[in-house]
Amino acid sequence: MSGIPMDNLKYLSLIAAAFLSIGSAVWSVQGKIHQLNGEKQYWQVQAEQIPSEAMKINLPGLLDLPTLIEECQDEFKEQAVQVVYANLDRIGEENNKSTGQSSGLNYALFHFKLKGSWSGIEAALNQIENSTNKSIQLQEVRLNSESGDVALKIYFYEPDKPL
């Protein structure tokens, strides 16, 4: 053979194989970086869609719901309103009204059957709704003579779901 000696051919093939393996490793790393950049952009958009007011609220966890219900019942007791029963209606996830997509906020809807004066019920509901350390929204209030039905929506987070 008049070309390249056999020893040099072995070295050249080893160098070529090394370049190919390094190139394939760089190619796969670049693909993974591109995929992670896409995920990063997705999560940044999700974080921007959460209203800034919701970010300021310190939401209770799912395990805090029984305590919150007891606090609501105590608030009614302070206003001389008897809680006949408190019933969990459903647990759900809040949807964005404009897009129809999930906003990431979870809620529990509770119904209360109350006995007492309208003024006592109203005072207790104002206190519950205006409390700064809770994220409770009045959903529905129906008052009868000396009684009422109330639906409260309590927002909470689940630790395994991002806000």
pLDDT tens digits, residue range 85-142?
Answer: 999 988 888 776 666 655 567 889 999 999 988 888 999 999 988 876 668 888 888 8
Residue type, 93: E
Long-range contacts of 131-137 (CB under 8 A, 24+ apart): 133/58, 134/60, 134/68, 134/71, 135/57, 135/59, 135/60, 136/68, 136/72
Tell whether the model's pLDDT for residue 44 goes beyond 90.
no
State residue 137's pLDDT score.
86
Q: Please give the sequence-ordered ranges of beta strands (E in DSSP) within 1-160, or none if there are none.
A: 82-95, 102-115, 136-144, 147-156
State residue 80's pLDDT score.
92
Quick one: average pLDDT of 65-83?
91
What 3-state DSSP class applies to 42? helix
State residue 101's pLDDT score.
59
